Chain A
Amino acid sequence: MIELKDLHKSFDGIEVLKGISTSFEPGRTNLIIGASGGGKSVLMKCMVGLLQPTSGQILYDGRDFHKLDNKQIRDVRREIGMLFQGNALFDSYTVEENIEFPLKMFTDMTPAERHDRVNFCLEQVHLEGINLKYPAEISGGMKKRVGIGRAIALDIKYLFCDEPNSGLDPVTSRVIDELLQEITEEFQMTTVINTHDMKTVFDIGDHIIFIYEGNKWWEGKKSEVRLADNTELKAFINASYFE
């Protein structure tokens, strides 16, 4: 479980996150939604340690992430997988080498064991047989799936996805959403997804928090979103449908 306690983040005196508290439970797809510039990405970057919060706590199963020493931080990070908006696959590596990379760095597996694990990960993301392709040779949707494959190569506990559907067609978006839900349930991971795609919200949103101007404006389940008595959230949903 990941817990956020009164999280603040400022840049040059401008407060971007204004005291966010919530918790993300394992085995559920937790969505962070909100308009661009509302603080979603900053929140996620604070959670994965790419940014240092100004104040507040981020607890990974009780471990205060920003108070750990370097070794402990590295240990927590090895339990984290992340799917980036732009995939962040290594251009000079093949699909197999991309997925194999964390295994090579952090395990003592033999090449044969690594190869089997890569094939298992590719099977999980429904991409068998593209081991020797380079990222430049596969489609955007396939890159996202390879990114998920790399994220789950090690036995991770926490999966973060930053705009997993950006730049994808509706059909591929749905495939990615279903895949994320599937692996979250299968591996009982704590999955946190940044999105402003309302379709994703209604399809896989087990737990949703709506960020507005750096505040947690609303929190609930997908069945409660439409009934929410919250002007900004309603405006956000209506704008999404209008799009």
Chain B
Amino acid sequence: MQIFNHFGTYLLFLKRMISRPEKLSVYWERTMLEMKNIGVGSLAIVAIIAVFQGAVTTLQIAYQLVSPLVANPVIGSIVSDSSMLELAPTITCLVLAGKVGSHIASEIGTMKVSEQIDALEIMGINSRAFVASPKIIAGVVMFPCLIIISIFLSNVGGIFAGYASGILTPDEFIQGARESFLPFNLAFSLIKAFVYAFIITSVSSYHGYKTEGGALEVGSSSTKAVVYSAVLILFSDYLLTQLLL
């Protein structure tokens, strides 16, 4: 029953968040700042994950497809499709659930326990909208950008690993990737990124906002935000794949 209670309060949190901004320029400024924090701030970790993900996938595919009957470009096509359909959006977003989600929950949680949220409410500001909406908007805009970068760097990692290990040439990799490319796969990847971004930012904001107590509870909210986001990402991954592919 607890899960339904959580879901209900989460929906109420989202509903109460929707209101006319008190001052659009302040919200715009905060959204831009969050885009920098969430997007630019996550670039390094996304790049590292993507390069190694592409490199390791290339080596493993090559290991499993050792056969004179399989042409080398097939490795490129499998790596690029896997990156686009699953690895870049899902694995990257699971990592971002840890980085971005815990940051959001602890930031809002600290604001809650130090009465900063109360201060906003007393000033007549919709505190839910003020703290959460810039983060959610920034997330849904920046995550798809990060995923595009991740897909590109996964392929770069694959090309590098294939070339460095002598399994396939960069031309063979690119040939395979181009032959199997379907625009819908990219769209599917971006849809996933959009959905995951909303899950991570809204669930983490919700957990941060309902923090009560002190430092211990802020830590607990942060952990819950990451765990719930990760589980919901995996669940929605299955659902989206079933519905759209």
Nearest-neighbour CB distance to chain B for A158, whole angstroms, equals 10
CB-CB contacts below 8 Å: A63-93 with B: 73-78, 80-82, 84-86, 88-91
B123 at the interface (CB under 8 A from A): yes
Report the separation of the CA atoms of residues A76 and B25 in the bound assembly, to the nearest whole angstrom.
23
A49-B123 contact, Cβ under 8 Å, with A88-B114, A88-B115:
no
Closest partner residue, chain B, to A153 (CB atom): B123
Q: Are A77 and B122 in contact (CB under 8 A)?
A: yes
Report the separation of the CA atoms of residues A91 and B110 in the bound assembly, to the nearest whole angstrom.
10
How many A-B pairs fall under 8 Å by CB? Answer: 50
Contact indicator per residue, chain A 103-141, by CB within 8 Å of chain B (1) or not (0):
011100000000000000000000000000000000000
- Which of A74, A76, A88, A104 contacts B119, CB < 8 Å? A88
**Most chain A Cβ neighbours within 10 Å, of B22, B110, B122, B125:** B122
Report the separation of the CA atoms of residues A104 and B110 in the bound assembly, to the nearest whole angstrom.
23
Q: Are B116 and A90 in contact (CB under 8 A)?
A: yes
A56 at the interface (CB under 8 A from B): no
**Most chain B Cβ neighbours within 10 Å, of A84, A88, A90:** A88
Dominant SS at the A interface?
A: mixed
A211 at the interface (CB under 8 A from B): no
Nearest-neighbour CB distance to chain A for B43, whole angstroms, equals 21
Q: Are B23 and A77 in contact (CB under 8 A)?
A: no
Closest partner residue, chain B, to A147 (CB atom): B119
Q: Are B124 and A75 in contact (CB under 8 A)?
A: yes
Contacts of B124 in A (CB 8 A): 73-78, 106
Instruction: Give the size range of A's interface with the partner.
Output: 20 to 34
- Which of B23, B115, B118, B121 contacts A105, CB < 8 Å? B23
Nearest-neighbour CB distance to chain A for B137, whole angstroms, equals 18
Q: Are B122 and A48 in contact (CB under 8 A)?
A: yes
A105-B22 contact, Cβ under 8 Å, with A84-B115, A88-B116:
yes
Contacts of A82 in B (CB 8 A): 119, 122
Contacts of A171 in B (CB 8 A): none
Contacts of B23 in A (CB 8 A): 104-106
Q: Are A86 and B114 in contact (CB under 8 A)?
A: yes
A102 at the interface (CB under 8 A from B): yes
Q: Are A105 and B125 in contact (CB under 8 A)?
A: yes
Report the separation of the CA atoms of residues A55 and B119 in the bound assembly, to the nearest whole angstrom.
24
B26 at the interface (CB under 8 A from A): yes
Q: Are B123 and A77 in contact (CB under 8 A)?
A: yes
A227 at the interface (CB under 8 A from B): no
Nearest-neighbour CB distance to chain A for B104, whole angstroms, equals 14
Contacts of B115 in A (CB 8 A): 84-86, 88
Nearest-neighbour CB distance to chain A for B185, whole angstroms, equals 40
Contact indicator per residue, chain B 90-123, by CB within 8 Å of chain A (1) or not (0):
0000000000000000000010001110110111
Nearest-neighbour CB distance to chain A for B111, whole angstroms, equals 8
Contacts of A80 in B (CB 8 A): 122
Q: Are B116 and A78 in contact (CB under 8 A)?
A: no
Report the separation of the CA atoms of residues A80 and B125 in the bound assembly, to the nearest whole angstrom.
12
Q: Are A84 and B119 in contact (CB under 8 A)?
A: yes
Contacts of A160 in B (CB 8 A): 122
A49-B122 contact, Cβ under 8 Å, with A104-B26, A105-B26:
yes
Nearest-neighbour CB distance to chain A for B164, whole angstroms, equals 44
Nearest-neighbour CB distance to chain A for B105, whole angstroms, equals 16
A-B contact pairs, 29 of them (CB 8 A): A49-B122, A50-B121, A50-B122, A73-B124, A76-B124, A77-B121, A77-B123, A78-B123, A82-B122, A84-B118, A84-B119, A85-B115, A86-B114, A86-B115, A88-B115, A88-B116, A89-B116, A91-B116, A102-B123, A104-B23, A104-B25, A104-B26, A105-B23, A105-B26, A105-B123, A105-B125, A106-B22, A106-B123, A160-B122
Q: In the A-B complex, list the 6 residue pairs whose CB atoms are closest, starting with the nearest.
A: A77-B124, A74-B124, A88-B115, A88-B119, A84-B115, A78-B124
- What 7 new A-B contacts, CB under 8 Å, besides A50-B122, A82-B122, A106-B22? A49-B122, A76-B124, A78-B123, A84-B115, A84-B119, A88-B118, A91-B114
